[in-house]
Amino acid sequence: MRGRADGPDADAAGPATPAGAVTMQTVARLAGVSAMTVSRALKSDTSVSRQTRDRVLDVVRRVGYVPDATARLFSTRRSGFVAALVPSLNNSNFADTVHGMSEVFDAAGLQMLLGDTEYSLSREEDLIRALLQRRPEAVILTGGAHSEAARKLVAGAGVPIVETWDLPKNPLGDVVGFSNEDAGAAMVRYLYQRGRRRIGFVGGKTHFDTRGTERRAGFRRAARALGLPGDRIVLAGEPPVSMAQGAEALEAMLARWPDVDAIACVSDLSAFGVLAECQRRGIDVPGRIAIAGFGDFEVARCCHPRLTTIAVDCAGIGRRAAQAALGALDARSRNAVREPETARIEFRVVARETA
């Protein structure tokens, strides 16, 4: 029990540490030492006698004392937090990236404060505003597109910034990403190589998903460079484009360009939707239409036929982003100069059965 003393009335707001809760003082009193000694005993400071430490730790166990990280970090003028924003937590690619980050940050004793921008720049700005009030020691953003206000906010926070999943023109700090445009182009070239000449693209409607937009731009550029039509583009809806929207996009694509012989999709989710819809309509894949996705989602590896896609080391992006943040933090603590770096992550076309 945290042993809230039975004070007359509870705090109005439901305090996390109600008056009368066990604090370091309580432990100190019970152990007959000063708070400072408790503090030292807790951090295995060698300058506490074995005897004293044992006595203190015993009390700690008995009363179930849990140190208050907020107070500790506050007094240290640190927050122990890192803020990380992703377009969606309900997306296996970003979930993997978050997982990669948390591995590294956990080991460094930093807590992650997660935000889900829902592919909206204004929501990103709001989240940044809210999260900065927690004084994160570093901020990790997805992509390079941010509102002007958001850029000012994070830049003004004076903490390391890492942008991921993209190669921004004007980075705010470190970058761990890859060129989504190149990825889009690579897929077109792959399809060309496989003999496809009438290639379409299925993507998201708006520019909020800048990565998707860039893949589309890469599609167009590469198609034209190869002398293919680059205008066979179906915008399937707001990002993130779902499987169902992929299915609908097939319909739209066939209505407008019935002779399409390959469809590159902004993600495996929409690609799988296209595939399923082809199966429903009895369209042979890849016989009549080849399909390609992006992201190497689990479904792409498992479905039948297996989806050709582009694989990126999502968790690796997260780990490297976290390491970059730690590197910047470390340089700062050593008062060293450290130029922000851009790490280009590999992507590769994974040839499977649909294209």
Q: SS3 for 284?
A: coil
Under DSSP, the state recorded for 355 is -
The one of a second copy, DNA, none whose footprint includes residue 193, by CB under 5 to 8 A per kind, is: none
Q: Would you list the DSSP string of 328-340?
A: HHHHHHTT-----
Minimal distance, residue 333 CB to a second copy, in Å = 5
Q: CA distances (Å), 271 to each of 134, 201, 294, in order? A: 39, 10, 8
Minimal distance, residue 330 CB to a second copy, in Å = 8
Kindly report the backbone phi and psi dihedral angles of residue 94, in degrees, each rounded to the nearest multiple of 5, phi listed first: -75, -35
What binding mask, one character per residue, do residues 31-50 give for a second copy by CB under 8 A, x or -?
Answer: --------------------
- Residue 5 interacting with a second copy (CB under 8 A): no
Nearer to DNA, 55 or 189 (CB): 55
- Residue 158 interacting with a second copy (CB under 8 A): yes
- In whole angstroms, what separates CA 347 from the centre of its chain? 17
Piece in contact with a second copy (CB under 8 A), picked from 209-217, 255-263, 287-295, 325-333: 325-333
Q: Are 200 and 234 in contact (CB under 8 A)?
A: yes
Among candidate residues 70, 100, 102, the one with its CA nearest the CA of residue 83: 102
Residues present in the chain in total = 355
Total residues binding a second copy (CB under 8 A): 80
The single residue among 36, 43, 58, 66 that binds a second copy, judged by CB under 8 A, is: 66
Nearer to a second copy, 50 or 337 (CB): 337
**Positions that interact with DNA (CB under 7 A):** 17, 19, 21, 23-25, 32-37, 39-40, 42-43, 46-49, 51-53, 67-68, 71-72, 74-77
- Residue 25 interacting with a second copy (CB under 8 A): no
Query: CA-CA distance, 146 to 135, in Å (whole number)?
Result: 20
The one of a second copy, DNA, none whose footprint includes residue 344, by CB under 5 to 8 A per kind, is: none
Report residue 128 as tokens: 């940044």
- Residue 244 interacting with a second copy (CB under 8 A): yes
The single residue among 168, 204, 273, 318 that binds a second copy, judged by CB under 8 A, is: 273
For residue 101, give the H/E element and its range. helix 92-107
Report residue 237 as tokens: 């809806």
- Residue 19 interacting with a second copy (CB under 8 A): yes
- Residue 27 interacting with a second copy (CB under 8 A): no
Q: Is the peptide bond before 15 cis (omega within 30 degrees of 0)?
A: no
- Residue 342 interacting with a second copy (CB under 8 A): no
Site for a second copy in 176-235 (CB under 8 A): none
